[in-house]
Amino acid sequence: AQKVTQAQTEISVVEKEDVTLDCVYETRDTTYYLFWYKQPPSGELVFLIRRNSFDEQNEISGRYSWNFQKSTSSFNFTITASQVVDSAVYFCALRSAGGTSYGKLTFGQGTILTVHP
């Protein structure tokens, strides 16, 4: 069975601080995909990034960066110089590439990030 754990239920920071959101996953599959989604107060789910299990290169996109480590089954997300607009719920998700779980996303419980001015 697949499982995604986001141990941080809520994080509160002051604007311009860096913040890291943790994500730990469990799967027996050798090929899988990891995702991060953002859910702002308006409620929609915004896709941020997809990562393949065979590509452990870290990725940076503007103020966002992702650290994927297979050895620790983690896919952490860092926001540099946070801004009030980053306030949202962030979800980490896992999807297998085959078998009976093919195509289905397993979500973590989400981390509520609040950035104060």
Partner 1 sequence: DADVTQTPRNRITKTGKRIMLECSQTKGHDRMYWYRQDPGLGLRLIYYSFDVKDINKGEISDGYSVSRQAQAKFSLSLESAIPNQTALYFCATSDSYRAQYFGPGTRLLVL
| Footprint of partner 1 (CB under 8 A) | 4, 9, 33, 35, 37, 43-45, 47, 50, 91, 93, 97, 103-105, 107-110
Q: Judged by CB, which is closer to partner 1: 35, or 79? A: 35
DSSP state of 63: T
Q: Which lies closer to partner 1 via its Cβ, residue 47 or residue 83?
A: 47
Least distance to partner 1, CB of residue 17, Å: 25
CB of 18 to partner 1, least distance (A): 25
Smallest distance, Å, CB 15 to partner 1? 26
Strands (E), the chain: 3-5, 10-14, 19-21, 24-26, 32-39, 46-52, 59-61, 64-69, 74-79, 88-96, 105-107, 111-116
Neighbouring residues of 32: CB distance < 8 A, sequence distance ≥ 6 = 53, 94, 95, 96, 97
| 33 or 64: CB nearest partner 1 | 33
